[in-house]
Each structure stands twice: as structure tokens, then as C-alpha cells.
Amino acid sequence: MKERILSGIRASGKLHVGNYLGALKQFVELQNSGGHECFFFIADLHALTTPFEPKELSQNTLEVAAEYLAAGIDPDKSVFFLQSQVLEHTELAWIFNCLTSLGELLRMPQFTEKAKLSEYKIENNVTARRQFIVNAMNDMKFHVNAGLLNYPSLMAADILLYKPTLVPVGEDQVAHIDLTKHTAKLFNNRFGETFPIPKTYLQKPLRIMSLSDPTKKMSKTGDEALMLDDSPQEILRKLKKAVTATDTKKGSPGVENLKFLLEQFGGTSRVKDFTKYNELKESLAKKIAEHFAEFRNKKTKIMANKKQLTQILAEGASKAQKIAGKTLAEVKEKIGLI
């Protein structure tokens, strides 16, 4: 029996080298290993939880779809689809929302991070968070959307609809997967055995840091990230601005980040090989530009035929829907919805 795996990436912007090394590259390896039945999706509904513009959202969704394909996700080998095109995701998410306690959702670390609770000087403990919610309800300036809090219920639905055995995620998603397991157990205990409890497959714990602030992770919505489709000139321009260190002997988090990237893209990582950080940056820019040369060509071709791209997504959604529909029908029957 092949392990069934499922994972997704938010459509909150084009993908950067952090998304590639931390997720996409490993998705392609899992797909090509032949030992897995793979489901990969673009989480466009999750992208609504952070600020977005409609035109940008649809453009980002197509770009991310093209990037999955250009990186090697093959719709003949993996079920590849858009979350919003399989309506069962939102229906099951609602059911899970009604089973999940508010306390559990408030405890999720990503909520703290994305809702910027720190700006409200909130301690990272449940009592303080409860107090925070009470305060926030009375604060008209507090504009955090409810989707950001309920996001883990949608994520549990994204996963459990397909009854996967393995869920590959980055470290930052482990708490959400734990909540998914908890939801599955809660459901099984109350309504009868329905969901197998998936295992968390922690992808290589690596974190690519921002070029301008190496204490923060590189992010689609943060400072200028190294995008997978950046031209060689653009890569060099961004790397030239990257924070390094004043003393070449001492190093710094920024230098460690560049060295790590150089290792990942097949270059030497010994800083002493470079007399100046500029040489390190130039060498890295060359390696990254070479690594993604084929990717850039493929992506350009895929983006030139949007009709075919949307057709691929529609076919993937139809395959996914067959499985999701069965699970949802089972759930509805068990909880008494007729």
C-alpha cells in the first residue's frame, strides 16, 4: 500500500527560494519517489486570511499553479488542484469549526504571529490571550478577520477530506497538524471511526531568512524575497543588497543565510574562499540563476497558455472532488445531516 500524502501552499504571492527549499522541492521528490499517492493543492482560500487584492489574488493563483508545474509537479502523477474549486473543503471546515473550542484556536502560534498580538503586548499564554480577545471585542480598531482564527479548522478539513497517512509540512505548521489530529480523534470518538490519524512528516527543518532582516524568515508578503522566476540580473541586484557583516572573519546571521543558500544550490560554502562578501554574493547569484534557468523557461511557456493551465486545475479538482465528496457524505450521515 502506498502512503497517501497531502500538502499545500498559500496563493498569497509568487513563490520564493524559501518555499522551494522548504516545501516544493520536497513535494517533487516525494512525487517522483513512486512510493506515495500524492495530493498537492494551492490554498487560495487561506490566502484570504491576510490582506489581498482581487486582481492580485487571481494572478498569484495562476502564477503559483504555473510554478508548481514548472518545478516538476506532474498532474499525471499527483492530484493537483485549487482548494476553492473543491467545495467540500469549506463545508467540512464549518462542521469542524462547530466541534473545535475557541481556546484551541486561540492557542495556535500562527494566530499570534499573523494577528500581531505582540503589538497589543500580549503574553504568549492562554489566559493572556483570552483577556486579549475580550479587550479586542471592545476595540473598534482591531481589524483581525475571523478567518485568521478559524484557519486551522479549514486546514483540518483540507487534510482529513483525503484521509492521508502522511502530511509533509514545515516546522511552523506542526501545531496546526496537531490540531488536525485532535479534531480527527474528537470526531471519531463522538461519531464513530471515520478519519485515520495522519502522521506529520516534518520536512527537512530549514529556514531561509530574509535578505534585509536575517532574523525573520523569507516570506512572500515580507521584504523583497528571492523569487523563483527572478531574472539573473534581478537575483544579483537583490543579493547585492543583502545584509552581511562588517567583519569578514566574524560572520553574522545574514552571512550564514547566504552560505546556507550557496550550499543548497551546489556552491562552496567556505566564506574564506571569498575575499569579499561581494564575491560570495556574485557566486550565489550565478548558482541560483543557473538552477532556475529551466524553471523560468517552463514557467513562461505555461503562463503563455492560461487556458491549458486552468484546464489542468479543473481536471485536478474533479479528481479531488470524487474523494472529498465521499468523505463529506460519510461525515454528514454520521452527524445527522440529511
Catalytic residues: 114, 217, 220
Q: Starting from the edge strand earliest in sequence, which strands make up the sheet with 199-202, in order?
A: 78-82, 36-43, 3-10, 166-169, 199-202
Q: Which of 4, 12, 86, 152 binds ligand AQP (CB under 6 A)?
A: 12
d(CA 189, CA 226) in angstroms, rounded, equals 46
Whether the Cβ atoms of residue 212 and residue 242 lie closer than 8 Å to each other: yes
Residue 6 binds ligand AQP, judged by CB under 6 A: no
CB of 100 to ligand AQP, least distance (A): 20
CB of 116 to ligand AQP, least distance (A): 13
Residue type, 171: E
Closest CA to 254 of 209, 306, 291, 289: 209
* CB nearer ligand AQP, residue 84 or residue 328: 84
Whether the Cβ atoms of residue 328 and residue 195 lie closer than 8 Å to each other: no
Site string for ligand AQP, 153-172 (x = CB under 6 A): ----------------xx-x
Closest CA to 68 of 37, 23, 4: 23
Site string for ligand AQP, 50-69 (x = CB under 6 A): x-------------------
- What would you report as the CA-atom Rg of the chain, rounded to the nearest whole angstrom? 21
Kindly indicate which of the ranges 11-19, 95-103, 194-202, 310-318 contains the residues binding ligand AQP, using the contact rule CB under 6 A: 11-19
* CB nearer ligand AQP, residue 11 or residue 86: 11
Strands, E assignment, the chain? 3-10, 36-43, 78-82, 166-169, 199-202
Distance of CA 256 to the CA centre of its chain: 24
Residue 267 binds ligand AQP, judged by CB under 6 A: no
Whether the Cβ atoms of residue 163 and residue 153 lie closer than 8 Å to each other: no
Q: Which of 6, 18, 41, 111 binds ligand AQP (CB under 6 A)?
A: 18
Residue 9 binds ligand AQP, judged by CB under 6 A: yes
Q: Which of 146, 197, 206, 329 binds ligand AQP (CB under 6 A)?
A: 206
Residues 207-246 that bind ligand AQP (CB under 6 A): 207-208, 217-222
List interacting residues with ligand AQP (CB under 6 A): 9-10, 12, 18-19, 21-23, 50, 169-170, 172-173, 206-208, 217-222
